[in-house]
Amino acid sequence: MALNLDLAGKEWEGPGRRWTSTDAILYALGVGAGAEDPLTELPFTTENSHDVSQQVLPTFAVMIGGTGGSMPPLGDFDIAQVLHAEQSITLHGALPPEGSTVTRSRVAAFYDKGPNAIAVLESTIMDAASGKVLAESSTGTFIRGEGGFGGDRGSAAAWERPAREPDHVVSYRTRPDQALLYRLSGDRNPLHSDPWLAEKAGFDRPILHGLCTFGFTGRALLHTACESDPEVFGTMSARFASPVFPGQELTVALWDEGDTWLFQTAVAGKVVLDRGTFTRRTV
């Protein structure tokens, strides 16, 4: 079995990532900020505009955790068999335009999905200087062909699409080169740039990073549910349901349920980001 099942429950701590103001801006551009109107999101896309203080998109949290230091690989499987299954982040406040982190990570579980497997990695991301917790994340990785080891199948949290029409609908068109731009923030998985690997994984051409779709959707939540204020952006979680190709239009449907927002992101009516849940942070 290629999975390193002995890692389950173990923890590692090590350097996360150091980032600059430019890195935060590059990430914002990579998830579409300012693409339709360069004047609308200047706090996230510039650092020296008149009377505009730089801010950081909350979903940049997925980029600042690093790899948990000395954590061994989850296994020796083919990278072409790996897909992002689900993601959640919890922010403890607005992220600074520059900084460095220390990350404590653990393999929370390996789930046996019959012929396939899901590995769940949980991380706590802390400011390297002060030790203050900046964010927490949970990442589910789908690994084709690595199931059948007799483990727990896992369970899904209850989620149901509301019967009414969405309270808000936000649409963003991605660029044909969106994946090439997004990968500059640090996710260099060649599945999103190399036609050879994309074909090997069963795709006609490279697909968009799931976390890029997550970032586009996070912008919709920030501007709709948080009045564009990163300080009140709390917890965002979703499951990746279908691949997105660069150049396609993302349509985010949002339902305001009071304390919680529900959301789905679709392309041409097909859900690509599902079971979305968002809660604001109390300041």
Q: Which of 271, 254, 234 is nearest to 88 (CA)?
A: 234
pLDDT per position as a tens digit, 175-217: 999 999 999 999 999 999 999 999 998 999 999 999 999 999 9
pLDDT per position as a tens digit, 73-86: 888 888 788 889 99
pLDDT per position as a tens digit, 46-59: 999 999 999 999 99
Amino acid 67: pLDDT: 57
More reliable by pLDDT, 9 or 21: 21
pLDDT at residue 155 is higher than 90: no
Q: Which of 227, 230, 218, 213 is nearest to 277 (CA)?
A: 218
pLDDT per position as a tens digit, 235-251: 999 999 999 999 999 99
| Per-residue pLDDT band at 70 (split at 50, 70, 90) | low
Q: Which two tokens stand for residue 89?
A: 């982040």
- Out of 6, 192, 256, 274, the active site residue is 192
Amino acid 71: pLDDT: 67
pLDDT per position as a tens digit, 19-32: 999 999 999 999 99
More reliable by pLDDT, 3 or 178: 178
| Per-residue pLDDT band at 123 (split at 50, 70, 90) | very high
Q: Which two tokens stand for residue 50?
A: 């008149």
Amino acid 74: pLDDT: 86
d(CA 153, CA 111): 5
More reliable by pLDDT, 70 or 166: 166
d(CA 200, CA 153): 27
- Active-site annotation holds for 23: no
| Region 86-113 average pLDDT | 96
Amino acid 48: pLDDT: 97
Lowest mean pLDDT among 6-20, 120-134, 257-271: 6-20
Percent of the chain with pLDDT over 70: 98
pLDDT per position as a tens digit, 105-120: 999 999 999 999 999 9
- Active-site annotation holds for 192: yes
Amino acid 1: pLDDT: 53
pLDDT at residue 233 is higher than 90: yes
Q: Which two tokens stand for residue 249?
A: 């239009």
pLDDT at residue 69 is higher than 70: no
pLDDT at residue 35 is higher than 60: yes
- Out of 23, 84, 112, 187, the active site residue is 187
Neighbouring-strand partners of residue 106: 11, 122
